[in-house]
Amino acid sequence: MTDQVWPWPRGASTGIGSLPGTDIAEAQRVVLGELPALPHLPELPARGPGADLIGRGAGLLVELPVELYAARWRIAARPGRDLRRSRDLMERDLDQLAEQAEGYAGPVKVQVPGPLTLAAALELPVGGRLLRDPGAVRDLTGSLAEGLRGHVAAVTRRLPRASVLLQLDEPSLPAVLAGRIRTESGLGAYRAMESEVARSLLRTVIEAAGVPTVLHCCAPDVPLELIRSTGAVGVALDLALVTDLDPLGEAIDAGLGLLAGAAPALPPPAGRAPTSAQVADGVRELWDRLGFPRARLPEQVVVTPACGLAGATPGYVRAILAACRDAGRRLAEE
């Protein structure tokens, strides 16, 4: 594994995606300032519908328009105001990225919900989630794959010297596989998706994107073996939720990169962000328990917060991103 080339620099750190507030220019300044080695395109869900995880992803779908109905996203008969708002927000964000990061020549990460999480959240026009209709899920996956090709191209046009790293957000993946997505009545659940079907859907999207892809899941019971078989180069997870080390060790040994969620996304009760030394200690301790040589750690691991930071204060965001950045540097200097 020593000769593997990773799509991030040694000792890198990055954010998971969401930040508080509504000012995209300020959010991008924070990210570029605190995470210079691997910045990401910030998401600001506080801006409202279309800036949320599902609305943002649904705006990328090709020939599959969406709309808001009773505060939920559903497939629409034709494009309308809600879809236009989602796409306008993304366009504005990409324009700001081009302005703020002009001349940037390293890797940049963008985040998009994956097909299973979208299928578990988007509703059919007749009611019920797309998840209930396997044909609709396949159509959604094809639409997302095509949209992602365009999205990656749009980022590349604006930052021609940068390399794109894609993050597929799949918080619903374990629940979809286990049949835990509840129906609208709350009295039942949708049928569990077979692992082979999930693998095929994820692989379709990853191959279409055409850039290195990490899969992010901040739920317990992350299916690491499945993720490894999709073509993803890495997995992003919350270290506090890792209870069984064996699957993680096997995935890392097989060459999967790790975006290690090592810093709490919300301030602890005491109110202080952990120091970079504490964050580095947490990552190092896990790595040692897995039994891998220390020399591999800063190559294969990227330090991140445990999840998105939309619920944090601006001050905490700066402190936690700086702690992750300096933790990555500490690990690289050992």
pLDDT tens-digit readout, 69-124: 988 999 999 999 999 999 999 999 999 999 999 999 999 999 999 999 999 999 99
Check: CATH 3.40.50.970 for 24-333?
Answer: no
- Grouping H, G, I as helix, E, B as strand and the rest as coil, residue 281 is helix
Burial of 125 (0-12, 13-18, 19+ CB in 10 A): exposed
CB contact at 8 A, 299 and 257 = no
CA–CA dist 324, 259 (Å, integer): 11
CA–CA dist 63, 78 (Å, integer): 9
CA–CA dist 24, 92 (Å, integer): 9
Encode pLDDT of 134-149 as tens digits.
999 999 999 999 999 9
Identity at 161, one-letter amino acid code: R
- Grouping H, G, I as helix, E, B as strand and the rest as coil, residue 289 is helix
Cα–Cα separations (whole angstroms), residue 321 to 19, 200, 285: 11, 34, 20
CA–CA dist 259, 294 (Å, integer): 16
Task: Look at the alpha carbons of 273, 279, 282, 285 in this order and tell me if their dihedral is positive or negative.
Answer: negative
CA–CA dist 231, 287 (Å, integer): 23
Strands 66-69 and 72-75: antiparallel
pLDDT in tens, the chain (334 residues): 457 899 999 999 999 999 999 999 999 999 999 999 999 999 999 999 999 999 999 999 999 999 999 889 999 999 999 999 999 999 999 999 999 999 999 999 999 999 999 999 999 998 899 999 999 999 999 999 999 999 999 999 999 999 999 999 999 999 999 999 999 887 899 999 999 999 999 999 999 999 999 999 999 999 999 999 999 999 999 999 999 999 999 999 999 999 999 999 998 887 788 999 999 999 999 999 999 999 999 999 999 999 999 999 999 999 999 999 999 999 999 8
Burial of 208 (0-12, 13-18, 19+ CB in 10 A): middle
Residue 226: both structure tokens together: 């499945």
